[in-house]
Copies of this chain bind each other. A is one copy, B any other.
Amino acid sequence: MEISLTRADMTVQKDRLYFDSYSDNSESIRGKVVLDVGAGTGVLSIFCAQAGAKKVYAVEACSIAEQAQITVKHNNMEDRIEVIRGTVETVDLPETVDVIVSEWMGYALLHESMLNSVLYARDKWLKPGGIILPSKAELYITPVIDPVVEDRLHFWYTVKDQYGVDMSCMSGFARKCIMNSDITVSSVTCEDVLSHPARFAELDLHSVTPEELRSVKGQFRCESFGSSAVNAFCVYFTVTFPCPDSTAPLVLSTSPCKPETHWKQAVLYLDAPVEVVQDTPITGEVRMYPSEENARHICIHKTPSKISCLSIYLS
């Protein structure tokens, strides 16, 4: 619900899912006490009230809390929703809660995410046996070819034909600039994906600890669909809402092969393209951990021959 960065039509998909999940969780929400961590405009709190929550505490640290208060009033839900301006680490609630809801996910899941605040709220305010929506997050990786980057790098070889100036030496420099850049958030096209995705980490929101968040890692193995150059890896996430009222859980996926969300995908470029053929195994390990400057660092080792180690700082 970020106004200036997110296209409103993209929030719909996300909100729709939350809306549906609360409807499908009516058994978990009806008559229950809910805490909305980082409530923003208050829309999730209102969804919970619609789904029958007895009381919703909408905690929001930023000035948008005032808008949430107005919206709650316009919708005649002041008796059920209490907007509290402050951080969840500092506010004082009058009671513990049955359910925690939050839209906490950042780029590449953990970049500028509010997950630590959700875990703090869980450990302080969630009743034993209480639930968290969404309840699970998963991280995926897949090799990709970014043809735009290759075109841009190839450009330097074409300058001679256009202007009679040999600028081919710029190509290597430009590639280094791209490799050394901070994490790139961009829309990966499904047709540039070169294998089935590999899941490398799963976070159970009910049990994961802040300490575990400091080093989220996992191994992966993919097999390429066919002959191509690999010049990057794409990292994306899903979050899952269990739906006891329904047959299947609801999954919000930021896969490049699903409708685009404002999270897009994180792209980690290789030092040099690697040629693969059909069924070439691509294995490696991903680790995501905070850098010393309150940032997150992703390192990818591609094995068996260690072809690249990418350092991406998520500040």
Q: Which of B7, B74, B164 contacts A169 (CB 8 A)?
A: B74
Report A40-78 CB contacts with B as 1/0, cut-off 8 Å. 010100110010000000000000100100110011000
Q: Which of B156, B163, B170, B177 contacts A4 (CB 8 A)?
A: B177
CB-contacts of A136-150 with B (<8 A): 148
A178 within 8 A of B: yes
Whether the Cβ atoms of B178 and A12 lie closer than 8 Å is: no
A190 within 8 A of B: no
CB distance from A178 to the nearest CB of B (A): 7
A307 within 8 A of B: no
Please name all residues of chain B whose beta carbon is closer than 8 Å to the beta carbon of A159 when the two chains form the complex. Answer: 43
Please name all residues of chain B whose beta carbon is closer than 8 Å to the beta carbon of A148 when the two chains form the complex. Answer: 7
A91 within 8 A of B: no
Chain A interface size, under 10 / 10 to 19 / 20 to 34 / 35 or more: 35 or more
A225 within 8 A of B: no
A124 within 8 A of B: no
Of A46, A163, A170, A181, most B-chain CB atoms within 10 Å: A170
Report A221-249 CB contacts with B as 1/0, cut-off 8 Å. 00000000000000000000000000000
Bound Cα distance A312, B141 (Å)? 40
A151 within 8 A of B: yes
A295 within 8 A of B: no
CB distance from A63 to the nearest CB of B (A): 9
A165 within 8 A of B: yes
Whether the Cβ atoms of B181 and A41 lie closer than 8 Å is: no
Please name all residues of chain B whose beta carbon is closer than 8 Å to the beta carbon of A74 when the two chains form the complex. Answer: 166, 168-169
A9 within 8 A of B: yes
Nearest-neighbor residue (CB-CB) of A181 within chain B: B4
Whether the Cβ atoms of B4 and A167 lie closer than 8 Å is: no
Please name all residues of chain B whose beta carbon is closer than 8 Å to the beta carbon of A4 when the two chains form the complex. Answer: 177-178, 181
Given A74-B169, A169-B74, A170-B67, A8 contacting B156 (CB threshold 8 A): yes
Whether the Cβ atoms of A50 and B170 lie closer than 8 Å is: no
Please name all residues of chain B whose beta carbon is closer than 8 Å to the beta carbon of A3 when the two chains form the complex. Answer: 170, 173-174, 177-178
Instruction: Beyond the given A3-B170, A8-B152, A41-B167, please list 8 additional residue pairs across the A-B interface where CB-CB is below 8 A.
Output: A4-B181, A9-B155, A15-B163, A41-B170, A46-B163, A50-B164, A67-B170, A71-B169
